[in-house]
Amino acid sequence: DIQMTQSPSSLYASVGDRVTITCRASQPITTYLNWYQQKPGKAPKLLIFAASSLHSGVPSRFSGSGSGTDFTLTISRLQPEDFASYYCQQSYSLPPTFGQGTKVEI
Amino acid sequence: EVQLVESGGGLVKPGGSLRLSCAASGFSFSHYTMHWVRQAPGKGLEWVSSISSSGAYIDYLDSLKGRFTISRDNAENSLFLQINSLRADDTAVYYCARDQPTENFGVIVQENNNYFDSWGQGTLVTVSS
């Protein structure tokens, strides 16, 4: 199985900050990389698919980049509603696997 | 609006069984690959199983094979997960999720991409004596 490793596990930020989360795959996955946001007690929501494509309805302050084994999720200007956990997920091969998550806190 | 509503969770003793359901609405359920994903309390996300639109293709996490059975009823717009021989480490919120297909001018050209564009609210399964 492909292992996904996110860093950091948690970070503290303020409204208006630029935030970057990284995700590394244990083997090359081209651009089969997706990002989700999850708030406490809620289901995850798709933010980015295919490494850099913004899912419908997701604000443009979210962006993704990378290919191969190294990927990033960037929030350009953090908003109050962005405090949440973020997960990367590879869809290159079965089973789909997730990173351990990054919690963005105030 | 796409809606996925899970049910069937609850408290069950080790060794017991449960059948989880997911009622779908707001989209053509019979055209989409569907998945189950679980999340243990305070932990990350773990993919469990998937089933193709027709039900012909099914996959499971290797460690769960033999105890978990995914199925669907396209006439009833419903997805199911039968879990047998429940263990404490099966305790989790179980989400059903829709696969995002590749479309070309509104026609699905690739059914499963193994990522998830819509999720239900989840149903909690607790395994404890």
Q: What is the pLDDT of residues B89-103, one digit of tens each?
A: 999 999 999 999 888
Of the candidates A38, A91, A101, which has its C-beta nearest B114's C-beta?
A91
With 0-12 / 13-18 / 19 or more C-beta atoms within 10 angstroms meaning exposed / middle / buried, residue B69 is: middle
Provide mean pLDDT across the span B49-63: 96
A101, pLDDT greater than 90:
yes
Cβ of A42 and B45 within 8 Å?
A: no
pLDDT reported for residue B108: 83
Cβ of A89 and B45 within 8 Å?
A: yes
B37, pLDDT greater than 90:
yes
B9, B11, B12, B18 alpha-carbon torsion, rounded to 10°: -10
The nearest CA of chain A is from the CA of B43 a distance in Å of 8
The nearest CA of chain A is from the CA of B81 a distance in Å of 17
User: Which residues does chain A have within 8 Å of residue B62's beta carbon, measured at their own beta carbons?
Assistant: 95
Of the candidates A43, A95, A96, which has its C-beta nearest B119's C-beta?
A43
pLDDT reported for residue B79: 98
Cβ of A96 and B59 within 8 Å?
A: no
pLDDT-above-70 percentage for chain B: 100
A71 in Cβ contact with A29 (< 8 Å): no
User: Which residues does chain B have within 8 Å of residue A95's beta carbon, measured at their own beta carbons?
Assistant: 47, 59, 61-62
The nearest CA of chain B is from the CA of A73 a distance in Å of 17
Of the candidates A42, A91, A99, which has its C-beta nearest B115's C-beta?
A91
Provide mean pLDDT across the span A15-29: 97
The nearest CA of chain A is from the CA of B114 a distance in Å of 5
pLDDT in tens, B64-87: 989 999 999 999 999 999 999 999
pLDDT reported for residue A21: 98
A2, pLDDT greater than 90:
yes
Of all residues in chain A, the one with the smallest CA distance to B39 is A43
Average pLDDT of every residue of chain A: 97
**Collapsed DSSP state (helix, strand, coil) of residue A73:** strand
Cβ of A46 and B117 within 8 Å?
A: yes
* Residues 6 or more apart in contact with residue B117 via CB below 8 angstroms: A46, A49, A55, B98, B99, B100
Angle at B22 between CA B5 and CA A32, to 5 degrees: 95
Pairing of strands B123-127, B92-99: antiparallel
pLDDT reported for residue B104: 87
User: Which residues does chain A have within 8 Å of residue B38's beta carbon, measured at their own beta carbons?
Assistant: none
